[in-house]
Amino acid sequence: MKTKLVIFGITGDLSTRKLIPALSQIIETGNFEDLSIIGVSRRQPDQFQLLGEHHEQLNGTTTIFSMDLTQASEYVRLKEYIELGDDEQAIFYLSVPPESMAQIVELLGQAGLNTPNVKLMLEKPFGTDLTSAHEMIDHVAAYYQESQIYRIDHYLAKEMSQNIVAFRGGNALFDHVWSAQAIEKIEVVAYEQIGIEGRADFYEQTGALRDVLQGHLMQLLSLILMDIPHDFDWSEAATYRAQALADVRPADPAKSQRGQYASYRDEVKNPSSMTETFVRLELESTDPRWEGVPLILATGKGLNEKTTEVRVHFRKSHEAQTNCLTFRIQPSEGVEIDLFVKKPGYDREFETKTLSFEYDKNTRLPDAYEQVIVDAIASRKSLFAGSAEVLRAWEIVKPVQDRWKTRSDDLIRYDSGANPVNIA
Ligand code: BG6
């Protein structure tokens, strides 16, 4: 089926860093001859500059449509420009600031650009708290069916996130021990060395809890906790993830920490900023399968390492034995298990070694943004966030958000390059 991918925000940072390179890769496969790209922009950018090094791959399939995003009549003009045939589909990709999203959705809907052959791809953040997320979901639902909505959380589409499901579901060895009986603690961490990189306005209003923990880390947690029955059907993945989060209790603020790296206030030019660049929560699940297992979620910027991983710590059966299974998402993707082995030699000495799986160096791992675009074209929804899981994730973090509004004495200032373990 011919697809017209209409990108709002084609000149934005995400488009330059992720979407244009992803589209270039997709076109290069030669499997998407029926794809055309329409970049929507307020001004008429230079197409050559916009596509940069991907000009050669994308120039033939890309056109730019410039319009005023606030005028209803402009959407009628857009509709005429797109000229969507009955045997074609249009995907509206909204990579725009949250404050513009509601209006664009409304004006698209009012212009009749919401027929069943239209899909909507939405970039996070999906609201800033439970109330605004509800409002946003209801607002979009006034114009589009849930089946037409593709909410992107690019962490779900990372190769290793998908591999968590394959690894758990495909290996009986782990299936048998996947519960509190054998597992002592689960940690999901995303640590970055970089700071806010010029995104001062965005970050000052967002902070680490909303930017990364509520979405990306909650999604990874749900992949670890969710049921994977033997007849697991990927098309039901969002339902399984939502069920796993439904069992996670709303966070206890007493088991949360927030921090801010030292130069942050200068960067955002706000000497009294309380925005957190680091957050750690300890959660728990009411599912008997996970009873008593601390679920630790932590993320931050300005730290001493770039590490995104899920660590599953197995219970010791005696003091000398400790096993940790790590799903490593960054810096390089892989799976590792710490094992206790005999040290080679005449003596009966033991040591810890790592059994690891890494992708072959020659294997190209598709970027998460390639995956989401390909899946949206093919109407596969398993890697997109459903409304239930988005709302539940906001419910879980709500007590912490509420507490932070009333306190100012709990923000830990840390030096850039700090070890996250020491922020407490
Ligand atoms: C984005 C956040 O969603 O995810 C950024 O807005 C963060 O602040 C980024 O740096 C991390 O993504 P990745 O794929 O580099 O781990």
Structural tokens at position 322: 């400790």
Evaluate if residue 421 carries a pLDDT over 90: yes
Cα of 381 from ligand 1 centre, angstroms? 21
3-class SS of residue 337: strand
Evaluate if residue 34 carries a pLDDT over 90: yes
Cα of 181 from ligand 1 centre, angstroms? 34
Over residues 164-184, mean pLDDT: 94
> Which of 194, 212, 217, 308 most suits a substitution to test ligand 1, by most atoms within 8 Å of the C-beta?
212
In this prediction, residue 44 carries a pLDDT of 86
- Does ligand 1 have an atom closer than 6 angstroms to the CB of 89? no
Both 188 and 285 in one domain: the answer is: yes
Helix residue spans in 83-149 (DSSP H): 98-110, 130-141
**Final residue belonging to a domain, choices 65, 95, 123:** 123
Find the domain containing 57 and state its range: 2-123
Over residues 190-194, mean pLDDT: 97
Q: pLDDT, tens digit, for every residue of 54-80? A: 999 999 999 999 999 999 999 999 999
Cα of 257 from ligand 1 centre, angstroms? 20
> Which of 192, 217, 371 most suits a substitution to test ligand 1, by most atoms within 8 Å of the C-beta?
192
Both 222 and 351 in one domain: the answer is: yes
Ligand 1, atom 9, lies closest to the CA of: 212
Evaluate if residue 417 carries a pLDDT over 90: yes
Over residues 157-179, mean pLDDT: 94
Edge to edge, what strands does the sheet with 307-314 contain?
Answer: 350-358, 334-342, 323-330, 307-314, 183-191, 295-300, 278-283, 256-261, 411-414
Write the CATH number for 189.
3.30.360.10
CB 33 within 8 A of CB 45: no
Evaluate if residue 200 carries a pLDDT over 90: yes
Rounded Cα distance, 82 and 115, in Å:
13
In this prediction, residue 322 carries a pLDDT of 74
Q: Quick check: is 413 in a domain?
A: yes
* Stated pTM of the model: 0.95
In this prediction, residue 198 carries a pLDDT of 86
Rounded Cα distance, 214 and 188, in Å:
12
Kind and range of the H or E run holding 152 = strand 149-152
Q: Quick check: is 42 in a domain?
A: yes
In this prediction, residue 320 carries a pLDDT of 63
166 burial class (0-12, 13-18, 19+ CB within 10 angstroms)?
exposed
Write the CATH number for 97.
3.40.50.720
Indicate the number of domains in the chain. 2
Average pLDDT, the chain: 95
Both 63 and 211 in one domain: the answer is: no
Both 117 and 171 in one domain: the answer is: no
Q: Quick check: is 130 in a domain?
A: no
Both 6 and 51 in one domain: the answer is: yes
Ligand 1, atom 6, lies closest to the CA of: 211
Q: Quick check: is 132 in a domain?
A: no
Q: pLDDT, tens digit, for every residue of 369-414? A: 999 999 999 999 999 999 999 999 999 999 999 999 999 899 999 9
Distances (CA, A) of 99 to 103, 124, 128, 202, 365: 8, 12, 11, 11, 34
Both 163 and 117 in one domain: the answer is: no
Q: Measured from the CA of 124, which atom of ligand 1 is nearest?
A: 3
Q: Quick check: is 78 in a domain?
A: yes
Q: Measured from the CA of 190, which atom of ligand 1 is nearest?
A: 16
Question: Which residues belong to the active site?
Answer: 216
Both 113 and 169 in one domain: the answer is: no
Ligand 1, atom 10, lies closest to the CA of: 192
Ligand 1, atom 8, lies closest to the CA of: 211
Evaluate if residue 319 carries a pLDDT over 80: no
Evaluate if residue 306 carries a pLDDT over 90: yes
3-class SS of residue 117: coil
In this prediction, residue 334 carries a pLDDT of 96
Both 222 and 93 in one domain: the answer is: no
Both 107 and 245 in one domain: the answer is: no
Both 275 and 190 in one domain: the answer is: yes
Evaluate if residue 98 carries a pLDDT over 90: no
Q: Quick check: is 234 in a domain?
A: yes
Both 175 and 118 in one domain: the answer is: no
Evaluate if residue 45 carries a pLDDT over 90: no
